[in-house]
Amino acid sequence: MQKAQWSFYLLTVALTIFGSSCFSTPGSAPSSTTSTSTTSTVAVAENAGEKAVKIIFKTGDGGSFDSASLPATGTTIDTVDGGYEATAVYTMDNVKLIKGVSSLWPKWLSRFEIGISGSSNLGADNADCARFATNTESQPNCVDSLGGSFQCAVQNFFRVSEYDCMQNSLVTENGSYSDGVYLRAVINRSSEALGSSENLMAVLEYTAAGIQGTPTDITKCFTADGVAPQECSDLLWNAYLWDKDPATKPVPLSRFLMLIPPITSFSDDTSKTNTGLRMTRQIFIPLASNSSIQAFQLSRITSNQLYTVRNTTLLNRCSNGGVGSGNSPLCAGVVFYSITFYRI
């Protein structure tokens, strides 16, 4: 009896020594870096509203943006909540949820806003650069080099027309609060909104049009500083993750994902191939990998390759009505149709 007792004691002690120092739960390694938010203690949040919602980049009926309160001179940069906010989202059953009214509004989506250009927007001061398309520019008034006409934009949808964006200046953005043209989702990481093991998937529906085709010389994409896609593409749009409180106006140190290139629609000197090809892109946002991620931003970074031909090819090709008036995102630029967020 005594021998058995001692064996039990020794076994327990041995297990205690090794168990206390080597115990760890697989997958429980702490998240990285600069966590300033409260880490959720639940794996999946319950009662956090709809698990999938769509934002439609449209004003008026069927859209997520109110047309009555559009900022006349654009949104402001370097200002918390300075963008134009989406006030409605749609469920997968196409039920409209209004922010501040609908109880099923997703708690995990604190805010979604876009940057609209204008004199108040110091990052994009041309009023026709980034805004919702009018009826006029949605007509087939864009003229190509062969004299053929094509639709320049899609009425009421949010579009970015490169011809107009670069009339005043060439900018280079960095995914921060000072970007003029952007889409930004602010994410609520509290445990009531999102669990610690939950992520988001965004499905973006858009067109990306350019004029200069794929680069023949790929070495242009590399500079002494490294990879430089802006040197060999008409457009450059990047996605960023903010791992600090958006109210602190963080500046992300590197891009999360490059959205554009590739460009899917091109015009060239001999044929008009721009047909406004609509495409989708799934973007997995790995929230569970970093409890500090609190915002997702898509930014227009630069278009310096188009800038070099703004007075020649861009002027001749992407001219609405042939009079150099721009408003031609389906010639050179981006049209956004929708973005759908899924909790996964």
Partner 1 sequence: MIHSKRSFLLLVLVIGGAGLFLFSCAKNIRYTASTLTPTTVTSDQAEALALTGVKVRFYYDDLYNLSNPAGLAANYCVGGVKTFRNPYSSEALPSDGNGGTIRPQFIRDVSVDLTDANSVADSNTTANCAASTAYTNTQASKCSIFDHQFVDASNAPIGMGKEYNTGYYTVLDTQCQGKGPLNTSIDPLLNRLYAGGIYFDLERSEFGENENLLLDLLFYPFGPANNDAAGVALTKTDEAVIQVHLVKTGLTYDLLSLMIQPRFLQYFATAQYPTLVQSLSIISPPTGQMRHEQIFIPLAFNSSVDRIRVERLSGSGVFLEASLYKTGNK
CB of 86 to partner 1, least distance (A): 24
Collapsing DSSP to helix, strand or coil, 240 comes out as strand
Query: Of 303, 200, 186, which is closest to residue 250 (Cα–Cα)?
Result: 186
Taking residue 109's Cβ as centre, other Cβ atoms within 10 Å add up to 24
Q: What is the DSSP string of 112-150?
A: EEE---STT-TT---TTTEEEPPTGGGSS-EE-TTS-EE
Two tokens, residue 145: 């080099």
Parallel/antiparallel/unpaired status of strands 265-266 and 200-210: parallel
Q: Which of the ranges 20-28, 62-70, 114-122, 139-147 carries the binding residues for partner 1, by CB under 8 A?
A: 20-28
Q: Which residue among 257, 278, 307, 342 contacts partner 1 (CB under 8 A)?
A: 257
CB closer to partner 1 out of 139 and 304: 304
**Of 48 and 88, CB closest to partner 1:** 48
| Cβ pair 202, 282 in contact under 8 A | yes
Question: Of the candidates 222, 247, 248, 280, which one interacts with partner 1 according to CB under 8 A?
Answer: 222
| Residue 242: partners with Cβ closer than 8 Å, 6 or more residues away | 250, 252, 293, 294, 295, 296, 297
Q: Which of 52, 203, 221, 309 binds partner 1 (CB under 8 A)?
A: 221
Based on CB atoms, which residue is closest to partner 1, 218 or 323?
A: 218
Residue 119 · residue 74 · CB < 8 Å = yes
Residues 226-245 that bind partner 1 (CB under 8 A): 226-227, 229, 232-233, 241, 243
Token pair 């090809």 is found at 277
Under DSSP, the state recorded for 12 is H
Please select the residue that binds partner 1; options are 56, 152, 183, 259, rule is CB under 8 A.
259
Tokens representing residue 8 in the block: 């039990």
Among 88, 204, 209, 263, binds partner 1 (CB under 8 A): 263
Instruction: Write down the least CB distance from residue 1 to partner 1, Å.
Output: 13
Radius of gyration of the chain (CA): 25
Annotate each residue in 265-284 with x if it binds partner 1 (CB under 8 A) or - if it does not, as one string: -----------------xxx
Where in 21-50 is the site for partner 1 (CB under 8 A)?
A: 21-33, 43-44
> Does 9 engage in binding with partner 1 (CB under 8 A)?
yes
H or E stretch at 182 = strand 182-187
Q: Which is nearer to partner 1, 70 or 228 (CB)?
A: 228
Least distance (Å) between residue 216 CB and partner 1: 5
Q: Which position among 87, 273, 290, 304 is part of the footprint of partner 1 (CB under 8 A)?
A: 290
Reported for 90-96, long-range contacts at CB under 8 A and 24+ positions apart, including other chains, are: 90/53, 90/54, 90/55, 90/56, 90/64, 91/50, 91/52, 91/53, 91/54, 92/52, 92/54
- C-beta of 34 vs 73, nearer to partner 1: 34
Least distance from partner 1 to the Cβ atom of residue 290, Å: 7
Residues that bind partner 1 (CB under 8 A): 9, 12-13, 16-18, 20-33, 43-44, 195-199, 213-219, 221-222, 226-227, 229, 232-233, 241, 243, 252-254, 256-259, 261-264, 282-284, 286-290
